[in-house]
Amino acid sequence: MSYIVMARKWRPRSFESVVGQDHIVRTLKNAIHANRISHAYLFTGPRGVGKTTTARLVAKAVNCLSPEVGEPCNHCVRCEEIQGSTTTDVIEIDAASNGLVDDARELREKVRYAPVACRYKVIIIDEVHMMSNAAFNAMLKTLEEPPAHTVFILATTESHKVPATIISRCQRYDFRRIPETEITERLAVMAAAESIEINEEALHVIARGAEGSLRDAQSLFDQIISFSGNSIKTSDVVTVLGLVDTQIFIDLVEAIATQDASRALRVLDQLVNNGADLRLFMKDWVEYWRQLVIVRVVSNPQDELLHLSGQVAEMVDRQAKLFPLDELINLAKMAALTDDELRRTQHPRFLLELFLLQLCSANRVVSLETLWRELQAMEERIVTLPENVAVSGAQVNTTSTAVSEAPESIVKPVETEPTVSQAGEPALVVDTLEEVVTTGYLDTVRENWTHIIDAVGQKNRRVQALLRDVTLTGAEEGLIELACLSTYHLTGLEKDDVRKLIESVLAAELGRRTRVQLTCEAAETPTDAETQIAPEDRKKEFDEISRKEPLVKKTLEMFGGQIVDIIPKHPSGGNK
Ligand SMILES: [Zn+2]
């Protein structure tokens, strides 16, 4: 079976079937139907978006013997002649391959004679900006006194190289890049007709690789079909196109959002092991950052600025919310700069590793600064709220004397889960009482919830953004329950330092230590035991930080036990 390439097989035979240029084909069709035919058209736009195809359709439509509302019939003798290139009345010249020597003379020859059989002689000149000055002059003469029987259609990817005198005599049509979604739809139709099994995600990857050119998309599709036959997986597309799986971007951004440097480095390692070209990878990743920023800034960017598939769009939307806007812009800017540096360096991998480390620690630097301000604010609060002094004071005392003691003694007072601590009591009474207390308390927390989120935002806006997406599902004295939208939110919020930060705000806002319990519909919540770090390890970490970080050291000296709730790596902390 002989194989006809997709672009040829699926070349549009009517204006209606031209993809992504509705504004142009509708105008042309109406003009032809009304017999308002210009002597010269200029079609500009990127490669592979349908300029030549539309030019051929115009040639057919103006010559068709039985046109249907501006559309060529595709059956009459004229349509068939033009379709099969058997008429001398429709001439295609490729200025790029024609050479400059004779093009002026050739052009004059072609225009001199009236059409033999057709109503119009149509001269289509591809890449017209490549013509010689002599040829442009010859054309200009013709355009100044156009013969009634001739139509020029000039196509170019670089209209700025076409003389203004020519442009001003043409009806100009700017062809646009074809949106990814429209290319995907077109590919899906082709795949169905060719009995090729391919999922939507894979089609989107092809469409994205084509960068707005349907012709490129079609030839990529051809390439992938010869690689994997009639059943195509996303991984095949990624392999053939030498692309990086979007999942890698997602994983990296998530690692940055959760400040998990070792995970980021492992993802990069996997990328290197898969033989990815790091410079190409970075170019694509910068585009991903651009998507995150745009999604964050523009309310409905899908039609104009971004052309993402449903699944990817959702993911981008979700990931964009992991950062406050100014931080996101900063990260994206750093990515773009690194892309630039990557072109020059001899050590692309190392540069990327440094970049990832920088991104993963970017937040932390900021939060230490804000931490100081927040601590001062908290000091004032302790002074002005006498009823809280008792609660906080008790903990301060315990903590400041108990740094070297076993942490259990501090954990105990917060252990307020009724089912555990009151197991010996008559169950009915406890349950009823507990229910009353719980409902009342949940309302109290709900009333304060916006304020709590704002207070978190003063310390860390990324955590604030995460909290905005979770639902407060339950609260009792000493415990609140939050339902996460996704594992992203879960991973972000269950990090020990994030949890500590939230709990410190809760303590200040609710006037008592309050533990956070996270649930997530999308995944099993890890148990407390899994997320908890051994007390000895915490202590080691604490010792190191208090030694190395002057800010923290000073803070500890000033506030003692109150820091238990804020500094992530304090030895007395646990999740309980
Ligand atoms: Zn016809």
pLDDT digits (tens, 9 = 90+) for 54-93: 999 999 999 999 999 999 999 999 999 999 989 999 999 8
pLDDT computed for residue 1 by the predictor: 43
In the chain, where the domains are located:
6-174, 180-241, 246-365, 366-565
Check whether 351 has a pLDDT greater than 90. yes
pLDDT tens per residue, range 136-154: 888 888 888 888 889 999 9
Residues with CB under 5 A from ligand 1 (ion): 64, 72-73, 76, 79
Which of 172-176, 220-224, 256-260, 525-529 is predicted with the least confidence, judged by mean pLDDT?
525-529
Residue 180: the pLDDT is 86
Q: Give 120-138 pLDDT, tens digit per residue.
A: 999 999 999 988 888 888 8
The per-residue b/e assignment along 262-292, b for 16 or more CB within 10 angstroms, e otherwise, is ebbbebbeebeeeebebeebbebbbebbebb
How far, in Å, is the centroid of ligand 1 from the Cα of 14? Answer: 11
Range with the largest mean pLDDT of 304-313, 343-352, 430-439: 343-352
Q: Looking at residue 60, what is its pLDDT? A: 96
Helix (H/G/I), strand (E/B), else coil: 485:
coil
567 band by pLDDT with thresholds 50, 70 and 90: very low
Alpha helix (H) ranges present in 99-199? 103-112, 133-144, 164-167, 180-193
> What local confidence, expressed as pLDDT, does residue 455 receive?
86
Express each pLDDT in 541-560 by its tens digit. Answer: 666 666 666 666 666 665 55
CA of 570 to the centre of ligand 1 (A): 82
C-alpha 62 to ligand 1 mean position (Å): 9
Distance from the alpha carbon of residue 12 to the mean position of ligand 1, in angstroms: 14
**Residue 543 neighbours by CB under 8 Å, 6+ apart:** 571
How far does residue 172's CA lie from ligand 1's centre (Å)?
25
Task: Say how many Å lie between the CA of residue 19 and the centre of ligand 1.
Answer: 21
Ligand 1 mean position to 55 CA, how many Å? Answer: 15
Q: What's the 66 CA to ligand 1 centre distance in angstroms?
A: 5
Separation CA 475–CA 528 (nearest Å): 18
Cα(106) to centroid of ligand 1, in Å?
29
Rounded to the nearest angstrom, the distance between the alpha carbon of 74 and the centre of ligand 1 is 5
E strand spans, 420-520: 471-476, 479-484, 515-520
Tell me the pTM.
Answer: 0.52
What is the CA(79)–ligand 1 centre distance, in A? 4
Give the model's pLDDT for residue 425: 40
Residues written for the chain: 576
Q: Of 112-116, 299-303, 383-387, 519-523, which range is least confident?
A: 383-387
Q: How confident is the model at residue 367 (pLDDT cuts 50, 70, 90)?
A: very low
Supply the mean pLDDT for the chain.
Answer: 79
300's tokens: 């409905």
CA of 76 to the centre of ligand 1 (A): 4
Compute, in angstroms, the gap from residue 6 CA to the centroid of ligand 1: 24
* CA of 246 relative to ligand 1 center, distance in Å: 46
Among 75, 39, 43, 47, CA closest to 60: 75
Residue with tokens 């500890």: 556
Question: How close is the Cα of 81 to the center of ligand 1, in Å?
Answer: 10
Judge if 6-174 and 180-241 fold alike in CATH terms: no
CB environment 187-211: b (16+ within 10 A), e (fewer): bbebbeeeebebeebbbbbbbbbbe
Q: What is the mean pLDDT of residues 192-216?
A: 89
Q: For 12-67, write each residue's pLDDT tens digit.
A: 999 999 999 999 999 999 999 999 999 999 999 999 999 999 999 999 999 999 99
CATH number for 180-241 (one of 1.10.8.60, 3.30.230.10, 3.40.50.1110, 2.60.40.10): it is: 1.10.8.60
Q: What digits encode the pLDDT tens for the residues 413-435?
A: 443 444 443 444 433 333 333 44
Q: How far is the CA of 564 from the centre of ligand 1 (A)?
A: 83
Q: Is domain 6-174 classified as CATH 3.40.50.1470?
A: no
111 has pLDDT over 90: no
Per-residue pLDDT reduced to its tens digit, 471-521: 888 887 778 888 887 887 888 888 888 888 888 888 777 766 788 888 887
Q: 68 CA to middle of ligand 1, Å? A: 9
What is the whole-number distance in angstroms between the Cα of residue 46 and the centre of ligand 1? 29
Report the Cα 82 to chain-centroid distance in Å. Answer: 44
pLDDT of residue 301: 67
Of 217, 214, 251, 267, which is closest to residue 237 (Cα–Cα)?
A: 217
**Dihedral sign, Cα of residue 101, residue 105, residue 107, residue 109:** negative
For ligand 1, the distance from its centroid to the CA atom of residue 26, given in whole angstroms, is 18
Highest CATH level, class, for 246-365: mainly alpha
Ligand 1 center–CA 67 separation, angstroms: 6
Mean pLDDT confidence for 279-284: 86
Q: Is the pLDDT of residue 160 over 50?
A: yes
pLDDT surpassing 80 at residue 572: no
Give DSSP secondary structure letters for 8-37. HHT--SSGGG-SS-HHHHHHHHHHHHTT--
Q: How far is the CA of 71 from the centre of ligand 1 (A)?
A: 8
